[in-house]
Structure 1
C-alpha cells in the first residue's frame, strides 16, 4: 500500500501530468494499492472540481471517475460517507496535534494528515520530497517521488 498525495490524484484526473496518469492506471489495474483518507478525498474533489470548472470539463464525469476509483476494492478508504460529508479541511489542518507534528517536522500543517496516514498504515508516502530524510529519520516513513513509485509498482 501507499499514500498518494492529493496532487497525484488531481493531476491524473485533470490529465495534466502523464506520470500521475500512469500511476493511477496502475491503481486501476490493481498493481498500486493506495490508502485514501477523507482528508485526501476532500482535497481531491475540491481541487479537481475547481480546476475542472475553470477548464469547462464535465464535472459530473469527473466526480463519477473519482468516486469510481475510490470505491474500487483495491483502494483502502479509511472513511464512511458520513465521515466525508463532515470533513472540513480547515478544521483538520488546525488541529493541535497536526500543528505540533508540522512544527516538529518543519512541514506545512496541510501535509501533517498525510504523514500520519502513512505512519498509521506503515506505507510509503508520495509527497514532501524536500523533507524525505528528516521524516524518514524521525518517524520512519518512506517518502518517494512519482518516478520511484512507478518503478516500484
Structure 2
C-alpha cells in the first residue's frame, strides 16, 4: 500500500513538476521535489550542497551478498530555528519505485551545516533510474 502511494506521489511529481519543485522561494516547502544526483537542492528549509553521492555498498545478508544504495552529503539548516533533517529519496524509472532511502541529520542551529547519510539497508541499488524525488519521510502504518 505504501509503495503504491509513493509511486503515485512520484508520478504526480513527474507529471506536474512545477508543483513539486522549488518555485524560486526559500525552499521551505515540504512538497516533493525532483533532484539530480550530485547537484545542490533545497527542500523544507534545508540546503543540500553540490557533490552529494549515491554509492553502492556490498553487504552480507543471510549468507548472501547484496548491493544496497547509500547517499551521503552535506546539508545546511537554512531556517531560523534549530531542527533535525529527516526525509526520503525515492529512485524511480518510468514512474515505478525502484528504491527508497531514508535520510537524516542531527539537530542543527540556523545556518549550521553537517553530514547527512541515507543508508538503503532494505533497498536494492537502483540501476536504470530516471528520477530521484526528495519527499517527507513516511512511516509504514499498515500491519502485516
Same fold (TM over 0.5): no
Give the structure with the higher percent strand: 2
Give the structure with the higher percent helix: 1
Q: TM-score, normalised by structure 2?
A: 0.28
Q: TM-score, normalised by structure 1?
A: 0.27
> Whose relative contact order is higher, 1 or 2, with alpha carbons under 8 Å and at least 6 apart?
1
